[in-house]
Amino acid sequence: MASLHTISLSAEARSRVRGRRTTDQGLEVVLHLPRTGPLQPGERLSCEQGRVVVEVAAAPEHLLAVEASTPLALLQAAYHLGNRHLPMEIQPRRLLIPADGVLERMLRDRGLTVAPLRQEFHPEPGAYGAASRHRHGAGASGP
């Protein structure tokens, strides 16, 4: 019977599909997955022998929630942040970005409301990332 582990990863760590990681239960695993897109929360990885199954979870991260008084002001904020190639989660009435004091000041200076928060981060995959979403079936190595 396979042992089930979870691995809580930041959005950035979910995009690195190769290298050593440690599960939430303390087991060291080595990921060696195809480079076809970031890991998605809920995905399960297994070692070749099937003795270990690791479920991917999104770890809480320090973020900034950006809100605006008008849709146009929020769209302009998304444009300026996108120009910096910043990972961004786009929600109906706000943007979420990694916490950064310089960007926070810039956004406030533009008249936006910015609030720090800590939660899971699911940034947009980018122009080419949407087509490469997939499911991982194997590739985690256990002991």
Residue 21 has pLDDT above 90, yes or no: yes
Q: How confident is the model at residue 91 (pLDDT cuts 50, 70, 90)?
A: very high
**What residue has token string 């949407």?**
130
- Report d(CA 43, CA 113) in Å as an integer: 34
**What residue has token string 């022998």?**
49
Q: Which two tokens stand for residue 131?
A: 């087509």
**What residue has token string 């990972």?**
87
Specify the pTM. Answer: 0.81
pLDDT mean over 105-117: 96
What is the number of alpha carbons within 13 Å of residue 36 lying toward its C-beta?
Answer: 10
Residue 70 neighbours by CB distance under 10 Å: 9
Least Cα distance to 33 among 132, 142, 143, 136 occurs for: 136
Say if CB 11 and CB 125 are below 8 A apart: no
